[in-house]
């Protein structure tokens, strides 16, 4: 096994360079080592936990402490982002009036999608096994709605605009961590993207530099909730090991 000292010799241009470290702060990164056997067990346990996760459309109205939502947001905010700009805003509400307004607007957009053929036949065919339609009662029943907004650009206090980088990619990673955090705490959610979603900016009073990315109703699943009997693709269908040049 190559020692850490030997491994360093592989880098002709180590990171950070002395010049970079002299100009910007850096700290040591030394996570606790995990034995290979333990790592495999941890990975398997986490996979089993996440493989049990399902999107839920029937929520209980049992209250959910705000602290749990905030904890999930903190976890989501550990996501990597382009140039470490962290271009996301998680806007949460438990207001009955706000949730009602969101439902009304979302159902109107979805009514056009489903009933007025804004979604093409192929799209509706793909959704058929899930049984989704324009009725979105869960938006009022779920104790919380969290909308993840992508920050298209940074608006500084002095009025200056600064570019954000890889905004959609960054928000997508943060959304995944958010879902994982909720599931770990025993909460259920659904990735809801009523298209178009511009109404969310108005209802939630968000500024021009933010754009809705995805909406999450959050709560505990209603007792007796049923979900589609579907499976996930096996490893062979989602992973490719490249061993040589084509």
Residue 2, Cβ density class (10 Å: 0-12 exposed, 13-18 middle, ≥19 buried): exposed
Tell me the three state secondary structure of residue 137.
coil
Average pLDDT, the chain: 93
Per-residue pLDDT tens digits for 176-231: 999 999 999 999 999 999 888 999 999 999 999 999 999 999 999 999 999 999 99
Per-residue pLDDT tens digits for 60-116: 999 999 999 999 999 999 999 999 999 999 999 999 999 999 999 999 988 887 877
Per-residue pLDDT tens digits for 61-70: 999 999 999 9
Per-residue pLDDT at 160: 94
Per-residue pLDDT tens digits for 21-49: 999 999 999 999 999 999 999 999 999 99
Q: Rounded to whole angstroms, what are the CA distances from 7 to 4, 28, 116, 178? A: 5, 17, 61, 35
Per-residue pLDDT tens digits for 172-190: 999 999 999 999 999 999 9
Structure tokens at 99: 């949730």
Per-residue pLDDT tens digits for 112-156: 878 777 778 888 888 888 878 888 999 999 999 999 999 999 999
Alpha helices in 92-152 (DSSP H): 96-115, 121-127, 138-141
CA atoms within 13 A on the CB side of 123: 8
**Predicted TM-score of the model (pTM):** 0.92
- In the chain the domains, ranked by start, together with CATH numbers, are 58-225 (3.40.109.10)
Cβ-proximal residues to 244 (8 Å cutoff; 6+ apart), any chain:
none
Cβ-proximal residues to 137 (8 Å cutoff; 6+ apart), any chain:
103
17: Cα separation from own chain's centroid: 34
Per-residue pLDDT at 1: 44
């Amino acid at each position: 096994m190559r020692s850490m000292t030997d491994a360093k010799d592989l880098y002709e241009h180590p990171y950070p360079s002395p010049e970079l470290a002299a100009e910007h702060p850096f700290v040591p990164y030394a996570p606790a080592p995990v034995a290979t056997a333990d790592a495999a067990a941890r990975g398997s346990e986490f996979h089993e936990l996440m493989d049990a996760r399902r999107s839920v459309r029937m929520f209980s109205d049992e209250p959910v402490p705000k602290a749990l939502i905030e904890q999930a947001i903190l976890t989501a905010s550990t996501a990597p982002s382009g140039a470490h700009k962290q271009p996301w805003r998680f806007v949460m509400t438990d207001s009955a009036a706000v949730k009602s307004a969101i439902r009304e607007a979302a159902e109107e957009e979805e009514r056009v999608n489903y009933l007025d053929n804004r979604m093409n036949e192929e799209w509706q065919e793909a959704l058929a096994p899930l049984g989704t339609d324009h009725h979105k009662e869960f938006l009022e029943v779920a104790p919380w709605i969290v909308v993840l907004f992508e920050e298209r650009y940074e608006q500084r206090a002095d009025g200056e605009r600064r570019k954000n980088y890889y905004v959609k990619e960054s928000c997508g990673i943060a959304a995944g961590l958010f879902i994982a955090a909720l599931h770990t705490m025993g909460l259920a959610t659904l990735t809801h993207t009523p298209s178009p979603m511009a109404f969310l900016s108005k209802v939630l009073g968000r500024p021009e530099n933010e754009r809705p990315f995805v909406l999450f109703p959050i709560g505990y699943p209603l007792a007796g909730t049923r979900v589609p009997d579907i499976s996930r693709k096996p490893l062979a269908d989602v992973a490719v090991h490249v061993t040589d040049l084509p």
